[in-house]
Amino acid sequence: ERVAAVLILDVSRFRVINESIGHALGDRVLQEVATSLQAQLRPGDSLARPEADRFAVLLADLREGKDAVRVCRRLLG
Nearest Cα residue to 18 out of 42, 52, 45, 49: 52
H or E stretch at 44: none
Average pLDDT of the residues in 38-61: 94
User: What pLDDT sits at residue 69?
Assistant: 94
User: What pLDDT sits at residue 77?
Assistant: 81
Q: Using pLDDT thresholds of 50, 70 and 90, give the confidence band for residue 32.
A: very high
**Which residues form the catalytic set?**
53
- Measured between alpha carbons, how far is 33 from 31 in angstroms, rounded to an integer? 5
The CATH architecture annotation of domain 3-76 reads: 2-Layer Sandwich (3.30)
Domain boundaries, the chain: 3-76
- Measured between alpha carbons, how far is 9 from 41 in angstroms, rounded to an integer? 14
Helices (H), 3-64: 14-21, 23-40
Q: Using pLDDT thresholds of 50, 70 and 90, give the confidence band for residue 17.
A: confident
